[in-house]
């Protein structure tokens, strides 16, 4: 008896919908991607009840003829690829020809469309209920396409039950729309929730892509003063083990966008936005590369804030491994990771290397001049040298680009863009005092600056140590008058044994003195020698903690150096003005002065704008 038969079209569509249509946000994602693929310049999204009762996406894109409007609802009907080879060169968001029939099979669906570039003033309207065509009519209306999805999953009660609260579904929708808006600043996005306008984002047309993105970030409410511009390009080297034919040629890779300045981070990846060829993606390799790039500029357990675009030959990525194309695969993953890490690290280094000059052309509307700080004459105040704004050549800064003529942007009148974050240590700083025996209060022409003297000292020591290690010299070390022996558990003894060579080079004179006993006879000069035993025990604990998740017996030099620097003595030690001056001078010479080796900020700035806001002097 034969038992196999082909599923009816409608059932097949519903099964496909199970993969593509997870929730209202995924419907919106598919519809908005179609609008973007259809070269829309304006996309309007309306939802009611978190998308449960209504989703409507309207665009002014190419539109469809009557025949196409009917065909697009068939499975595997697409205008975007024709041959299997096209799969390796996908430049559109969609290509599977699956979304519309899937969506139409699980809701009450209306498609209204009229061709933009056609003399025919007549449009088409197709009405489908749960996958069955109910009507096809001629219609009027504007050029472009509008898709209305009512009562999502009305015919699949089990799926409908799985929808979350309106707020949760709305949050998912808004999250996706944010990504789309960031990836396409030139497109205007309107978003209405239950009849209320949430966003009306004008399309940003005439600026460079970086400026356009900056503007889009601004209207989405992200302050840009703590963001650094990224502009990086390099070549992916040909790979050793050629598994794919496309991988034996060098390929270009560009990374651009914005990323948080040192010290800017979040407790989750929520504000880490990464796009590959304009597609928002999740990729573990990318996550690692970002963390690696930030290195010591990010605290453990914290995540970067960024909006980065990776541009790469479409043949270098596989976007066809996830039903919603959220995950992607890089053919040359390792090389890509390495370059992304470099892009981030270079940007951080350049941030300090560059003078106060902005890395990108100044915004067209020049910001209002910062209010001049009141010239308080100090009663008796130690004066720090005013550091000149460094006239240094900018080895890393991008070549000067032609600034586009004054843009005719239809931007909503908002606060003028803040000037580009310029390195704090390049503006003159004046000492005001020290509070809590730890925080150094400074004044710059931009406002108030606080310096954490301990964090700063740690950073300085850390970089000095690394330099020594690189030069293969030994760090300075002071012999103890009274060497101390420390008895350890067998486990700790074994662990410590693995770290001895590096510790010795870092100036910690520890040697084996028996099976489980060690002799401490020297310390780096910055470590208080008060309780040597205590120091060794704490060090072991900290090293063990630092090594967690690192599955090598021997910790890296960087990790050990970081840990030893924790014991810098400067916290709570009152420093005289000249010492503070030296501290800032030394910090200025660091490669990454804005965070301690553990990623905590060394400096905090509160500019006059922020102060005015706090005192209610401005909106
Ligand atoms: P895919 O996007 O993978 O091609 P879809 O089912 O999402 O598959 O869409 C099928 C086809 O319908 C698209 O290839 C496109 O030609 C057409 N289409 C869908 N939405 C729009 C739109 N908003 N404007 C113009 N054409 C559209
Ligand atoms: Mg599509």
Give the Cα separation of 28 and 45 in Å (integer).
8
At residue 240, the pLDDT reads 56
Q: Which residues pair with 330 in a beta bridge?
A: 317
Residue 171 has pLDDT above 70, yes or no: yes
Q: Which of 116-120, 212-216, 533-537 has the lowest mean pLDDT?
A: 533-537
Q: Which two tokens stand for residue 15?
A: 């099964």
Mean pLDDT of the region 454-476: 84
Q: What residues pack around ion ligand 2 (CB closer than 5 A)?
A: 34, 94, 99
Which of 307 and 364 is assigned the larger pLDDT?
307
- 3-class SS at 563? helix
Do residues 569 and 535 touch, judged by C-beta distance below 8 A?
Answer: no
Q: Given its phi and psi angles, is residue 131 left (phi above 0), alpha (psi -120 to 50 degrees) or beta?
A: left
Token readout for 330 is: 């890089």
CA of 31 to the centre of ligand 2 (A): 7
Task: Give the burial string for 264-302 (b: 16+ CB within 10 Å, else e).
Answer: bbeeeeeebbbbbbbbbbebeebbebbbbbbbbbbbeeb
Q: How many residues are present in the chain? A: 619
pTM of this structure: 0.75
Is residue 58 within 8 Å of 38, Cβ to Cβ?
A: no
Q: What is the residue whose two structure tokens read 């573990």?
A: 284
Residue 417's pLDDT band (cuts 50, 70, 90):
very low
CA-to-CA distance for 127 and 131, rounded, in angstroms? 10
Q: Which atom of ligand 1 is nearest to the CA of 63?
A: 25
296-352: pLDDT as tens digits: 888 888 999 999 999 999 989 998 888 888 889 999 999 999 999 999 999 998 887
What residues pair up with 522 in beta bridges, in sequence order? 479, 509
Q: Give tens-digit pLDDT for 367-416.
A: 343 333 333 333 333 333 333 333 322 222 233 333 333 333 333 333 33
Distance from residue 111's CA to the centre of ligand 2 (Å): 14
Residues with CB under 6 A from ligand 1: 30, 34-35, 38, 59, 61-64, 72, 77-80, 94-100, 145
Q: What is the pLDDT of residue 238?
A: 73
For the segment 549-576, the average pLDDT, to the nearest whole number, is: 69
Which atom of ligand 1 lies nearest, measured to the CA of 77?
Answer: 10
Pocket test for ligand 1, best of 43, 100, 131, 319 (most atoms within 8 A of CB): 100
Q: Which of 56, 408, 364, 365 is nearest to 203 (CA)?
A: 408
- Mean pLDDT over the full length of the chain: 82
Residue in 28, 34, 123 to alter for ligand 1 test, most ligand atoms within 8 A of Cβ: 34
Testing ligand 1's pocket by substitution, the residue of 78, 141, 323 carrying the most ligand atoms inside 8 A of its CB is 78
**Which residues lie closer than 8 Å to 124 by C-beta, 6 or more apart?**
64, 65, 66, 69, 70, 111, 112, 113, 114, 136, 137, 138, 139
Q: 366: pLDDT confidence band, cut at 50, 70 and 90? A: very low
- At 556, is the pLDDT very low, low, confident or very high (cuts 50, 70, 90)? confident
Highest mean pLDDT among 187-196, 220-229, 381-390, 533-542: 187-196
Closest residue to atom 18 of ligand 1, CA basis: 34
- pLDDT of 409: 31
Cα(58) to centroid(ligand 1), Å: 13
pLDDT at residue 305, as a whole number: 93
What is the SS3 assignment for 437-478?
CCEEEEEECCEEEEEEHHHHHHHHHHHHHHHHHHCCCCCCCE
């Amino acid at each position: 008896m034969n038992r196999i038969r082909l599923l009816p079209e409608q059932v097949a569509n519903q099964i496909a919908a199970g993969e593509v249509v997870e929730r209202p946000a995924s419907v919106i994602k598919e519809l908005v991607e179609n609008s973007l693929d259809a070269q829309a310049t304006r996309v309007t999204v309306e939802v009611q009840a978190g998308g449960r009762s209504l989703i409507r996406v309207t665009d002014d894109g190419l539109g469809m003829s009557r025949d196409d409007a009917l065909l697009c609802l068939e499975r595997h009907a697409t205008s975007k690829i024709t041959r299997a080879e096209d799969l390796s060169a996908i430049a559109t968001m969609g290509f599977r020809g699956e979304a519309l029939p899937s969506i139409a099979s699980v809701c009450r669906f209306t498609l209204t469309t009229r061709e933009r570039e056609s003399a025919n003033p007549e449009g088409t309207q197709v009405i489908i209920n749960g996958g069955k065509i109910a009507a096809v009519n001629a219609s009027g209306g504007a050029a472009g396409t509008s898709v209305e999805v009512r009562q999502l999953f009305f015919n699949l009660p089990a799926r409908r039950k799985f929808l979350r609260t309106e707020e949760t579904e709305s949050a998912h929708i808004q999250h996706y729309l944010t990504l789309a808006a960031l990836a396409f600043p030139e497109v205007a996005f309107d978003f209405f929730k239950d009849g209320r306008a949430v966003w009306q984002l004008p399309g940003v047309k005439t600026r460079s892509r970086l400026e356009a993105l900056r503007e889009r970030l601004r209207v989405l409410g992200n302050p840009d003063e703590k963001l650094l511009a990224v502009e990086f390009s390099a070549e992916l080297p040909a790979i050793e083990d050629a598994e794919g034919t496309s991988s034996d040629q060098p390929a270009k890779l560009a990374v651009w966008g914005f990323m948080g300045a040192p010290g800017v981070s979040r407790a989750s990846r929520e504000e880490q936005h990464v796009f590959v060829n304009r597609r928002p993606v999740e990729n573990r390799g990318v996550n690692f590369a970002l963390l690696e790039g930030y290195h010591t500029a990010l605290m453990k357990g914290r995540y970067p804030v960024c909006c980065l675009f990776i541009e790469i030959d479409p043949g270098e990525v596989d976007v066809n491994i996830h039903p919603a194309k959220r995950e992607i695969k890089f053919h040359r993953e390792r090389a890509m990771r390495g370059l992304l890490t470099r892009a981030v690290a270079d940007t951080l280094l350049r941030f300090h290397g560059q003078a106060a000059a902005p890395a990108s052309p100044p915004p067209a509307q020049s910001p209002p001049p910062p209010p001049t700080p009141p010239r308080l004459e100090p009663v008796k105040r130690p004066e720090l040298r005013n550091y000149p704004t460094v006239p240094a050549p900018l080895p890393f800064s991008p070549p000067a680009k032609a600034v586009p003529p004054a843009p005719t942007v239809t931007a909503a009148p908002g606060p003028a863009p803040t000037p580009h974050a310029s390195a704090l240590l390049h503006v003159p700083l004046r000492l005001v005092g020290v509070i809590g025996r730890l925080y150094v209060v400074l004044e710059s022409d931009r406002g108030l600056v606080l310096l954490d003297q301990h964090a700063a000292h740690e950073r300085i020591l850390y970089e000095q140590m690394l330099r020594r290690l690189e030069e293969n010299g030994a760090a300075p070390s002071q012999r103890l008058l009274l060497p101390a022996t420390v008895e350890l558990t067998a486990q700790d003894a074994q662990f410590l044994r693995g770290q001895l060579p590096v510790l010795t080079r870092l100036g910690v004179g520890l040697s084996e003195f028996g099976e489980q006993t060690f002799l401490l006879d020297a310390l780096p000069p910055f470590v208080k020698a008060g309780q040597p035993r205590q120091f060794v025990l704490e060090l072991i604990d900290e090293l063990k903690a630092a090594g967690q998740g690192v599955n090598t017996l021997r910790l890296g030099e960087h990790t050990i150096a970081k840990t030893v620097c924790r014991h810098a003595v400067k916290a709570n030690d009152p420093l005289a003005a000249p010492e503070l001056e030296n501290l800032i001078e030394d910090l200025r010479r660091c490669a990454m002065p804005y965070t301690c080796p553990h990623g905590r900020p060394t400096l905090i700035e509160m500019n006059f704008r922020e102060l005015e806001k706090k005192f209610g002097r401005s909106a």
